[in-house]
């Protein structure tokens, strides 16, 4: 008897230059111009860049000063996260018309499991196209999509025909696709890991597949098993509609470096207040409090303490952070301070059960 292989149908939707596109939408004078959302000062950071700006090498997480050097005509606009969140909610409302299995990754991207969907449409590719068309027609924004048998491949596929395109990797093409994929294109493999793989003679999926699990474990520890599986198209992670949050944080980068703990305490009080509000809004509390210190030489240090009870109160957070701050002398002037709360009470919540449905229709 022939074995029946079951697959999921996963769509990864990724908005194209979301923050910058929203700014161009709301201000037509910015259309066709290089736009960066964020600060253009020496301490400013680019949160997002339009495709016109990306042509000059401007990208997210780049300093505003460097972005300006790369693109002298770059236009900086201040982030409006409430506006981005409002539009993101409208986009998600469209998703939910097709499936309840929606896993948001951020304001501008999400996974959808359409194995069984509300429209009764047997084609995940057509569903992705319909969703992208609706986002454009109703919200006047562009999105790209990747469609395949698991989240990893769908995520990789969504980058292939960006912007404003989509790519489907059906089950019968998964092996070939992964074997031909350059190793740096694998989602989750950054520059450092890619460089290490190059040195080991791994330049694409086929090279990776030729390495046995012992070799990969030796050179990449626990990640070795992950690499061994994903290059074979194996990933069991299901789309989680209620993604469990693991941390809540707040941090500030300062216009001038801080050289005294007195000034740092003032800033940490403000950050604690902001963090408290985020915990309240998220309806969570946590046991582990971490102080993040980034020095003027860009070296980062973290100091943590785990309490015997869950907290979200500003006063308790600040008292703990003070203790962490004076744990040892601050080594240099400080450009950034941050506080995070982890070990949250959400971790006790149940994760949705995995859905495993036999597929009998086309991708």
CATH of the domain at 186: 1.10.150.20
pTM: 0.71
| Contact between residue 306 and residue 287 where contact means Cβ atoms under 8 Å apart | yes
Which of 230, 255, 278 corresponds to the end of one domain? 230
Say yes or no: 265 and 329 in one domain: yes
Identify the CA nearest to 363 among candidates 186, 156, 146, 178.
146
For residue 52, is it within any domain?
Answer: yes
Indicate whether 122 and 226 sit together in one domain.
no
What per-residue confidence (pLDDT) applies to 352? 32
Does the residue 167 lie in any domain? no
Same-domain pairing of 211 and 316: no
**CATH number of the domain where residue 84 is located:** 3.30.70.270
Cβ atoms within 10 Å, residue 47: 18
Domain identity same for 258 and 332? yes
Q: Note whether 123 and 218 are same-domain residues.
A: no
Name the residue among 61, 54, 44, 42 with its Cα closest to residue 16.
54
What is residue 243's predicted lDDT score, i.e. its pLDDT? 66
Residues 118 and 194 in one domain: no
Residue 123 confidence (pLDDT): 96
In a domain, 185, yes or no: yes
Among residues 289, 286, 310, 290, the alpha carbon closest in space to that of 302 is found at: 290
**The predicted structure's pLDDT at residue 5:** 57
The residue whose two tokens read 């989750």 is 188
From residue 269, how far is each of 52, 276, 292, 300, 316 by CA, in Å? Answer: 40, 11, 14, 20, 11
**Domain membership flag for residue 242:** no
Number of folded domains that form the chain: 3
Please choose, from the candidates 266, 264, 345, the residue with its C-alpha nearest in 3D space to the C-alpha of residue 307: 345
What pLDDT, on the 0 to 100 scale, is given for residue 241?
87
In this structure, is residue 362 part of a structural domain?
A: no
For 259-315, where are the E strands, in sequence order?
A: 286-295, 300-311
Residue 7 lies in a domain: no
Cis peptide bond N-terminal to 163, omega within 30: yes
Domain residues for the domain of 124 are: 13-149
Same domain, 215 and 117: no
**Catalytic site residue 109?**
yes
pLDDT at residue 1 in the model: 47
pLDDT tens over the chain, length 363 residues: 455 457 899 999 999 999 999 999 999 999 999 999 988 776 788 989 999 999 999 998 888 889 999 999 999 999 998 999 999 999 999 999 999 999 998 899 999 999 999 999 999 999 999 999 999 999 999 999 999 999 999 999 999 999 999 999 999 999 999 999 999 988 888 888 999 999 999 999 999 999 999 999 999 988 899 899 989 988 878 898 876 678 899 999 888 899 888 889 999 999 999 999 989 888 889 999 999 999 988 888 999 999 988 999 999 999 999 999 988 888 789 999 999 999 898 754 433 333 233 333 445
Same domain, 140 and 112: yes
Among the listed residues 23, 52, 103, 109, the single catalytic one is 109
Residue 217 and residue 251 in one domain:
no
Q: Which residues contact 363 (CB under 8 A, 6 or more apart)?
A: 9, 123, 124, 125, 147, 148, 168, 170, 171
Residue 354 lies in a domain: no
Residues 142 and 21 in one domain: yes
Nearest to 148 by CA among 157, 139, 140: 157
Tell whether 189 and 289 lie within a shared domain: no
Is 357 within a domain?
no
- Per-residue model confidence (pLDDT) at position 292: 94
The interaxial angle of helices 81-96 and 124-139, nearest 10 deg, is 140
Task: Count the residues in the chain.
Answer: 363
Could you give the CA distance from residue 180 to residue 231 in angstroms, rounded to a whole number?
10
Distance CA(180)–CA(340), nearest Å, equals 40
Same domain membership, residue 187 and residue 298 = no
- 77 forms beta bridges with 37
CA distance 335 to 333: 7
């Amino acid at each position: 008897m022939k074995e029946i292989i079951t697959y999921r149908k996963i769509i990864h939707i990724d908005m194209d230059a979301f923050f910058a596109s929203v700014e161009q939408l709301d201000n037509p004078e910015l259309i066709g111009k290089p736009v960066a959302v964020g600060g253009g000062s020496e301490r400013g950071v680019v949160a997002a860049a339009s495709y016109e700006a990306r042509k000059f090498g401007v990208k997210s997480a780049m300093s505003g000063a460097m972005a300006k050097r790369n693109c002298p005509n770059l236009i900086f606009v201040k982030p409006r996260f409430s506006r981005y969140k409002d539009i993101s909610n409208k986009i998600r409302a469209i998703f939910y018309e097709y499936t309840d299995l929606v896993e948001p990754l951020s304001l501008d991207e999400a996974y959808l499991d359409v194995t069984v969907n509300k429209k009764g449409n047997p084609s995940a590719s057509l569903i992705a196209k319909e969703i992208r068309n609706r986002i454009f027609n109703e919200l006047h924004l562009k999105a790209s999509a990747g469609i395949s048998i698991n989240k990893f491949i769908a995520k990789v596929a969504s980058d292939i025909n960006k912007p404003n395109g989509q790519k489907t990797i059906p089950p019968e093409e998964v092996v070939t696709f992964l074997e031909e994929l350059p190793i740096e294109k694998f989602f989750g493999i950054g520059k450092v890991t890619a460089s290490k793989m190059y040195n080991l003679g791994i330049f694409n999926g086929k090279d990776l597949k030729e390495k046995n699990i012992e070799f990969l474990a030796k050179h990449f520890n626990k990640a070795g098993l992950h690499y061994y599986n994903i290059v074979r198209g194996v990933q069991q992670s299901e789309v989680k509609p209620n993604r469990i949050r693991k941390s809540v944080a707040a941090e500030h980068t300062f216009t001038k470096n801080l050289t005294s703990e007195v000034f740092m305490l003032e800033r940490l009080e403000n950050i604690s207040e902001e963090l408290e509000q985020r915990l309240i809004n998220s309806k969570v509390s946590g046991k582990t409090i971490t102080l993040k210190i980034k020095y003027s030489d860009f070296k980062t240090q973290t100091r943590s303490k785990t309490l015997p009870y869950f907290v979200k109160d500003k006063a308790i957070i600040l008292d703990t952070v003070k203790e962490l701050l004076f744990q040892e002398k601050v080594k240099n002037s400080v450009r950034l301070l941050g506080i995070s709360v982890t070990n949250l009470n959400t971790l006790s919540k149940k994760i949705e059960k995995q859905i495993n449905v036999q597929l009998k229709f086309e991708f």
